[in-house]
Amino acid sequence: MRHGERAWQAALLDLDGTLYRGDEVVPGAPEFVERLRRRGIRPVFLTNNSTRTPRQVADKLNRMGITAEPDEVCTSAEASAHQLRERFGPAYIGFVGLDGVREALVEFGHRAVELGTPEHDGHPGVAAVVVGLDPEITYRRLTAVCAEVSRLGAFILTNGDVRLPAGDRFVPGNGALGAFIETATGIRPYVAGKPNPDFVQFALQRYGLDPDGVLLIGDNRRTDVLAGKLAGVYTVQVQSGVQYAETESASTPLEPDEVHPSVADLFLP
């Protein structure tokens, strides 16, 4: 196996479809992460999901038997907050989302203003808008979000995932929320999560990694593999995602460097 023949600094790991499926761990994933650690390869949990904080992500992984620390987690909410810090410095940022978005904004020095709530009413004006998934969002709040996006002429969508698996059904993902706002305002979002290579760059910068020493492992060609390719890291696709069969086709954008059934097949002794 080619990936096993190189000395890697770090492995950027997708979560849903790669280490777990919904609430079920992918068989062999805990042992795989331990193999990485034993080889001195830093695991970085790189997730498009912006609803959870890094601690909540680490807690979920640990409950499944995968050892993870909050500072090994990079979320699309953090990448969004980082972008805004670079662009505006510390600022008042309007947001839609759960703790994952609010805490990321605060972590990067911003003042987080939840759009369409009393803390937003009467606010003199936010510098930017970040939209993450909030399953409790209302039409009234979306109206307030659209007004701010219209005024600013731009918004950041933490991630563009269109559907989230929920048992044998799905729930609309953040991409669907972004499409609502885009349709109403005519303004296209900047999408911070994968496949945007800036998300990978954010992780490389955060841990001081050289792209030549990094591999990215994920189940989705259109998000994981594309982001990795664009950022110049080695890419491994695993076929453990629930949507693997239905979403992959001959028209997928880029070939990964390697394809394996699951992380259980990687870095075997």
Type of residue at 157:
L
Shortest gap between Cβ of 240 and Mg ion (angstroms)?
9
Q: Is 198 in the site for Mg ion (CB under 5 A)?
A: no
Do 14 and 202 meet the contact criterion of CB atoms below 8 Å apart?
no
16 is catalytic: yes
Q: Is 161 in the site for Mg ion (CB under 5 A)?
A: no
Q: Is 17 in the site for Mg ion (CB under 5 A)?
A: yes
161 is in an annotated binding site: no
19 conformational bin, left if phi > 0, alpha if psi -120 to 50, beta if neither: alpha
257 is catalytic: no
Catalytic choice (14, 161, 198, 224): 14
Shortest gap between Cβ of 47 and Mg ion (angstroms)?
8
Nearer to Mg ion, 18 or 53 (CB): 18
Type of residue at 198:
D
Of the candidate spans 24-32, 113-121, 191-199, 220-228, the one that interacts with Mg ion by CB under 5 A turns out to be 220-228
Sign of the dihedral defined by the CA atoms of residues 236, 237, 238, 241, in that order: positive
16 is in an annotated binding site: yes
Catalytic choice (16, 134, 198, 224): 16
194 is in an annotated binding site: yes
Q: Is 14 in the site for Mg ion (CB under 5 A)?
A: yes
Among 10, 13, 16, 95, binds Mg ion (CB under 5 A): 16
Q: C-alpha distances in angstroms, 113 versus 70, 93, 136?
A: 24, 6, 17
Peptide bond preceding 195: is omega within 30 degrees of 0, i.e. cis?
A: yes
Q: Which residue, among 155, 153, 235, has the nearest Cα to 194 in the 3D structure? A: 235
Q: Give the span between the Cα atoms of 158 and 57, in whole angstroms.
A: 16
Q: Give the span between the Cα atoms of 224 and 197, in whole angstroms.
A: 10
Of the candidate spans 10-18, 23-31, 79-87, 112-120, the one that interacts with Mg ion by CB under 5 A turns out to be 10-18
Nearer to Mg ion, 16 or 103 (CB): 16
Q: Is 148 in the site for Mg ion (CB under 5 A)?
A: no
Type of residue at 128:
A
Type of residue at 214:
V
Nearer to Mg ion, 185 or 240 (CB): 240
Q: Which residue, among 139, 212, 209, 211, has the nearest Cα to 177 in the 3D structure? A: 139
As beta bridge partners, residue 38 has: none
Residues forming contacts to Mg ion in the complex (CB under 5 A) are: 14, 16-17, 219-220
- Residues belonging to the binding site for Mg(2+) are 14, 16, 219
- Residues belonging to the binding site are 14, 16, 194, 219
Q: Which residues are catalytic?
A: 14, 16
